[in-house]
Chain A
């Protein structure tokens, strides 16, 4: 034992190092840093043009030349980064900044940062993006019968054949949330094969459209590795809001997100925001709800349909709104693992209950109860196999954290890593078998290898997702397959046209 541990470790590191000396491209790294820094410069510069207030904000577009241009009627550059280059708009380097930057702290506790009008004004900088070629609107029946084959022919196997029952679901407008979530899953975890199409479908108009965004992204200056992270469509399926995110290297790390409105009728695009660490979008029937986090802070905005004006989104919780908003909430909370920030009701909360190291609010949500139930891990180690580590907390809007009501705790899944709220009970997995737990009694569920996605406030059912299918569990525990999924499932925004227009 002449060699010390530190010497032994250094020797090992050196052996690996000599093996992998050329693993990183210098130019790639430096160019990424340049674009990041340029992005920061855009945000800082653009703030000077924004009219801070509660009303509309003057739209200012910033082009690679570093100049400014009114957003309306100005074509975007055909290629290159939408952010000004550093050489054209040099970013000063006057102050050394500590690393890592500290999150907002109150009494040593990281706090949740409420959204503000100022952040919205500084972050949302709508300007015209590159044009794209809209797809042909086609009859849904054609999609069902032909699209799977046609898509697979050009390596787009994502939109699997829609079974007949799906058409019924489309007509009732229930598929939006589940499919959105499915898209997030794919975009988030399979970055090597990311989603680059957006699609809308609506049975009442017999319309279906898919848009390949590859060319658009190239013109917008995105790197090769990027994907659609989130998606929403307006009522008519005329416009799609998408969050595009670049991925670093093998896809693990992420570069800034951008939020873009794609007008499927005209083929024009509007870039709403860039440089966000994270963003999500929703359509509430009249406005886009844009949530995110970026260099300016927490973004929560209710944006006009044309993207040119907005107000801060106070994220008031109302019946049903939790789930409407839950996608964004869950994602922001997911980001909170790293950044320890969470946006809830516009208030500042400790990001995590005391003593916990990790919370996942995506497990369950119950609109009927008006709270989001979170499972939090009270441990220093990460283990999903130890049920004793899982605790449940109740998060009530405006009130902060509290242990879950004991009566509800008794119903909460004690050890399942996958569960979903359904009515007054829960669906959870005992081993590989899903069961419904309510008031201490269990009911076996006949369902295939699927896991719950979220409760559906519209009909009280539970969307479920499996390896190759999307399903729905009715309140009376009847499982129905809704969509068969291909290997690389497409993200689709299925707008609730039928529900909103049917008489």
Chain B
């Protein structure tokens, strides 16, 4: 077995659940999450990147998932217009979707705009730095900071947890009198 295959198999065997969960928190749709993971795995390992460890490969896959998620959001509008024109089979929610393992987190994530969702997922679930997140999503670092800041505040409020201080943007208001 060639090395990429061994790493791919180990990654899928050991981390598939986490990757699908990660994608689910972006999409809140089980089928779409599995599609994202599958597509990201294929893309990652098709490109002949050499991975020494499965953790390294997982980082690439997570990045690919977030990137593909945003690309999918861009295409979504057009697809929706098309779908309105043709009959199609409605997806039937699975049991897992009806009874979410962590409905609060899923709902909180779903309340975020797509870019905020992608930023916070990469930052907190993928351990990506601001620079790495910016590179992965094709955004400026400033935009990543802003999206993460907004997402952090929203999530912390909804989930009743402490926000990540490092991702809060300090805003200083100087009054006329202070000047």
Interface residue ranges, A against B (CB under 8 Å):
1-24, 26, 28-30, 32-34, 36-37, 40, 91, 93, 95-101, 185-186, 188-190, 192-193, 248-253, 255, 334, 337-338, 357-358, 360, 362, 380-382, 384, 417-418, 451, 465-468, 487-489
Contacts and interface: CB of A to CB of B under 8 A. Distances in A.
Interface in B56-102: 60, 63-64, 67-68, 71-89, 96, 100-102
Nearest to A360: B78
A189 B38 contact: no
Contacts of B161: 1, 3-5, 7-8
B117 to A, nearest CB: 11
Interface string B115-127: 1000011011100
Contacts of B36: 252-253
Interface of B: 2-5, 8-9, 12-13, 16-18, 20-22, 24-25, 30-32, 34-39, 41-50, 60, 63-64, 67-68, 71-89, 96, 100-102, 104-106, 113-115, 120-121, 123-125, 143, 152, 155-156, 159-164
A18 to B, nearest CB: 7
14 contacts: A4-B162, A5-B161, A8-B161, A12-B21, A12-B106, A14-B18, A22-B16, A24-B37, A29-B41, A96-B49, A97-B49, A185-B85, A193-B89, A466-B85
B125 A9 contact: yes
A334 to B, nearest CB: 7
B17 A23 contact: yes
A247 B87 CA distance: 19
Contacts of B152: 5
A29 B38 contact: yes
A489 B86 CA distance: 8
A6 B74 CA distance: 27
A217 to B, nearest CB: 20
Contacts of A2: 162
B105 A189 contact: no
Given A13-B125, A93-B4, A99-B60, A20 B96 contact: yes
A223 to B, nearest CB: 12
Contacts of B2: 93
Contact of A253 (B38, B79, B106): B38
Contact of A36 (B42, B67, B155, B163): B42
The 7 closest A-B pairs by CB, nearest first: A16-B21, A253-B39, A12-B105, A252-B35, A17-B17, A12-B102, A21-B17
Given A4-B162, A5-B156, A8-B105, A23 B48 contact: no
A190 B88 contact: yes
Contact of A1 (B20, B101, B162): B162
Given A99-B47, A100-B67, A360-B78, A382 B85 contact: no
Contacts of A255: 42
B2 to A, nearest CB: 7
Given A192-B89, A250-B34, A252-B32, 13 more contacts: A6-B123, A9-B125, A18-B17, A19-B101, A23-B20, A26-B16, A34-B5, A99-B63, A100-B63, A189-B79, A190-B88, A249-B38, A252-B72
Contacts of B43: 99-100
B149 to A, nearest CB: 12
Contacts of B88: 189-190, 192-193
A422 B61 CA distance: 46
Nearest to A8: B161
A489 B105 CA distance: 40
A23 B156 contact: no
Contact of A3 (B25, B31, B47, B162): B162
A15 B102 contact: yes
Contacts of A19: 17, 21, 96, 101
Contacts of A185: 82, 85-86
A418 B32 contact: no
A468 B76 CA distance: 22
Contacts of B72: 252
A28 to B, nearest CB: 8
Contact of A16 (B81, B102, B124, B160): B102
B87 A188 contact: no
A116 to B, nearest CB: 23
B98 to A, nearest CB: 12
Contacts of A190: 83, 86-89
B18 A17 contact: yes
A32 B159 CA distance: 39
B146 to A, nearest CB: 10
A99 B12 CA distance: 19
Contact of A23 (B32, B34, B86, B104): B34
B101 A99 contact: no
A15 B75 CA distance: 30
A382 B22 contact: no
Among A9, A249, A417, A451, the one with the most B-chain Cβ atoms within 10 Å of its Cβ is A9
Contacts of A93: 2-4, 48, 50
A467 B88 CA distance: 10
Nearest to A295: B46
Among B4, B155, B161, the one with the most A-chain Cβ atoms within 10 Å of its Cβ is B161
A186 B86 contact: yes
Contacts of B162: 1-5
A30 B76 contact: no
Contacts of A249: 31, 34-35, 38-39
A331 to B, nearest CB: 11
A222 B17 CA distance: 27
A81 B176 CA distance: 74
A337 B75 CA distance: 7
A407 to B, nearest CB: 27
A189 B78 CA distance: 10
Nearest to A98: B49
B169 to A, nearest CB: 15
A110 to B, nearest CB: 10
Contacts of A24: 12, 16, 20, 34, 37-38, 41
